[in-house]
Chain A
Amino acid sequence: MRDWLQPHRIILALIGVALVLWCATQMRWDWLPKYAPMMAEGIWRTVWLLVLSSLLGMALAIPLGLAQAAGPWVLAAPARAFCTVIRGTPLLLQIWLLYYGLGSLFPQFPWIRESDLWPILRQAWPYALLALTLSFAGYEGEVMRGAFRSVPRGQLEAARAMGMPRLKILTRIWLPQAVRNVLPTLGGETVLQMKATPLVATITVVEIYAVSSRVRQDTFIIYEPLLLLAVVYMALAGLIVLLFRWIERTGPQTRPAGR
């Protein structure tokens, strides 16, 4: 609290408040009530995409990291190739490849068009979710590779000496320590993943960014929706940072020695 009461910070804060007040009074916000329900829906869709793609991506990243850190080369090589390709190409390109590419391929097969999945596959969000998930898996696979390697060998040897089955070593000893070691990195990566979500608006998924573009097109107001959008994303980023700080605080605080 004392940090915030230095004279220059108070002046900066006052300037900030004045700026916010100026924005609130001098800019046009009359469109807000009309579009508020749509924006709430958009935020919900963004959060939903972010949470689902991060969880699914993480579920893929663990085997990818494990294969690279300890797997035989038959598994390690494809895992490494997958991570390199995902990390080496722009996400926007991946999204468009999946949406336009697969989207143009599927209708050619009658059995897909007649299947029960077709009403879902005809929409845009499955492709958005798939692209975001694969992207997260690619980046996190690389993070998890380092994480699995960072767990001290002695821990695994001790577990083996106690006669633990291999799956139990993974779930009880190896994975928890690996994840705990890279929690700060994962927090940062989740913020990056959040920053990637507006890209799916380019394939007609109506999340918060798409809503704000719609406002821009409908009302020809340029800055106000964009500023509000920036504030929304900053709030989301803040929430993610707080969430990860909370996760880091639960559980043992000590780090393994020698790191």
Chain B
Amino acid sequence: METLSLLSLSPPGWGATLLAGLWNSILIAVGAFGMGLVLGTLGAWGKIHGGPVTRDLLALYTTVVRAVPELILILILYFGVTDLVNQLLLALGHDRIQISGIAAGITVLGVVQGAYATEVLRGALLSVPQGQVEAARAMGMPPFLMARRIIFPAMLGLAMPGLANLWLIATKDTALLAVVGFAELTFATRQAAGTTKAFFTFFLAAGAIYLIITLLSTWAFHRIEGWARRGEPRNAG
């Protein structure tokens, strides 16, 4: 138990390193989740209203991303995106740049999240009663107002469980970036544990941090879902 002092915030302890890692993890999780929502909204819209080619391409995107391990997608996109950006810059006559770990992490996990979000949001969009949309259109509502006032509130409650799940996946997937050497929480933990040899102390502490994030998010999403479903009749089941 004397290793507990290693968790303190001031230098002999590694607490500050862990917290810096945690901050990076949260930043990436939030960014990736947000990007996933944007991609997912576009994807869901395309899968429902798009032409045959759009639909097939989106089906390909969601199938491939959901069949290939995140770790490999991260590596492919990590190398690929960096390469692509640099070749583009070179072609335009600029110098090579080093893409920041945070930007690359957000992009990569965002693309992965987008595939899952597409399916979640598509399901929620499809379950908005068609009559409500028709009624809004009959009242002469412009499309954007209809999306904001009718479709979004109606689908929110249905999409919430899926989105909560996605957020939890996003927080845990940030740990994968440790493999490419990005200093998020898991990587910082391993560094600290490797240096001090206090493996249990640090890994258990990091586990506790992740667990707290999970429990807090679960509670928060539960509250949001309750709020989104206010006024809905309770089902018997």
Interface residues of A (CB under 8 A from B): 6, 8-9, 12, 84-85, 87-94, 96-97, 100-101, 104-105, 191, 194-199, 202, 209, 222-223, 226-227, 229-230, 233-234, 237-238
Contact = CB atoms under 8 A, between A and B. Distances in A.
Contact of A93 (B68, B70, B207, B214): B207
Contacts of A230: 64, 68, 72-73, 76
B67 A89 contact: no
B67 A234 contact: yes
26 contacts: A8-B53, A12-B53, A84-B211, A84-B215, A89-B214, A90-B173, A90-B174, A91-B172, A91-B175, A92-B179, A93-B175, A93-B186, A93-B206, A96-B186, A96-B203, A100-B203, A195-B68, A195-B69, A195-B70, A197-B69, A198-B71, A198-B72, A202-B179, A209-B71, A226-B79, A233-B72
A212 to B, nearest CB: 8
B189 interface: yes
Interface residues of B, number: 41
Contacts of A196: 69
- Overall SS of chain A's interface: helix
Interface stretch (B5-13, B143-151, B153-161, B192-200): B192-200
Contact of B68 (A85, A94, A96, A233): A233
A89 B79 contact: no
Contacts of A237: 67-68
Main secondary structure of the interface of B (DSSP, over half): helix
Interface of B: 52-53, 56-57, 64, 66-73, 75-76, 79-80, 168, 172-176, 178-179, 186, 189-190, 193-194, 197, 199-200, 203-204, 206-207, 210-211, 214-215
Given A8-B53, A90-B175, A104 B69 contact: no
